[in-house]
């Protein structure tokens, strides 16, 4: 699997995300992005996947990195998995939404389809902030006619045994569920 090489003749998928996509605390090539890459190959889709995720990244960081990644990989599909670190740092939801909007538009203008990966935050951030954060992804997807994974951690969020010791990052046993959650929305985009 050519996960970190320049795009060749095969159509490509670019994943731009944070630690949830960058295999933080996991054995190399065991994260959901790598699992998707293997599934793409097994199902002979012809797509290569390129992981341009950085642990700790925010939507601002992703926005600044996206132009170079688009120019380098020329993806047909861009998967944006960012925003969690914005919320964990209590950053402005308007700024996060603006950044995700700009990234989505930029990717679409390059000719790529966009799949936004939604997240949720714990209720201790306050009900209003929590609800507005969740709505951010839906709003950006709707506004730009982009596809949406409603919640990356669906099916694992309440099971502590599927998280690393920090209680934030899913462990290796959870990665297949994450890959399946993304695949549900990604597969129709491959046609």
Catalytic residue among 12, 19, 21, 59: 19
Domains (range + CATH), the chain? 12-190 (3.40.50.1110)
Using the structure block, give the residue that is written with the tokens 């960012």: 82
Catalytic residue among 30, 55, 98, 169: 169
Q: Which token pair is 59?
A: 């939507």
Start-to-end CA span in the chain (Å): 21
Helices (H) and strands (E) in the chain, counts: 6, 5
Structure letter (DSSP) for residue 10: S
- Is 169 an annotated catalytic residue? yes
Strands (E), the chain: 12-17, 48-51, 77-81, 113-117, 147-149
Q: How many whole angstroms separate alpha carbon 172 and alpha carbon 164?
A: 9
How would you write the pLDDT of the chain (191 residues) with one tens digit per residue?
344 444 457 899 999 999 999 999 999 999 999 999 999 999 999 999 999 999 999 999 999 999 999 999 999 999 999 999 999 998 999 999 999 999 999 999 999 999 999 999 988 888 999 999 999 999 999 999 999 999 999 999 999 999 999 999 999 999 999 999 999 999 999 98
- Is 12 an annotated catalytic residue? no
- Is 159 an annotated catalytic residue? no
Q: pTM of the entire structure? A: 0.94
Model confidence pLDDT, tens digit, residues 2-23: 444 444 578 999 999 999 999 9
Model confidence pLDDT, tens digit, residues 20-44: 999 999 999 999 999 999 999 999 9
Instruction: Report the alpha-carbon angle 101-112-92, nearest 5.
Output: 15
């Amino acid at each position: 699997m050519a996960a970190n090489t320049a795009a060749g003749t095969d159509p490509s998928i670019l994943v731009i995300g944070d630690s949830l996509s960058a295999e933080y605390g996991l054995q190399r090539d065991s994260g959901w992005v790598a699992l998707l890459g293997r599934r793409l190959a097994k199902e002979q889709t012809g797509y290569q996947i390129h992981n341009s995720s950085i642990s700790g990244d925010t939507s601002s960081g992703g926005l600044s990195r996206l132009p170079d990644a688009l120019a380098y990989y020329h993806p047909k599909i861009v998967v944006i998995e960012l925003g969690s670190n914005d919320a964990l740092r209590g950053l402005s939801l308007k700024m996060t939404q603006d950044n995700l909007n700009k990234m989505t538009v930029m990717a679409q203008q390059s000719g790529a389809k966009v799949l936004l990966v939604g997240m949720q935050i714990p209720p201790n951030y306050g009900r209003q902030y929590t609800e507005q954060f969740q709505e951010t992804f839906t709003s950006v997807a709707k506004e730009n006619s982009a596809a949406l994974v409603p919640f990356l951690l669906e099916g694992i969020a309440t099971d502590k045994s599927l998280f690393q010791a920090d209680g934030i990052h899913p462990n290796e046993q959870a990665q297949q569920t994450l890959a399946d959650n993304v695949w549900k929305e990604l597969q129709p985009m491959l046609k």
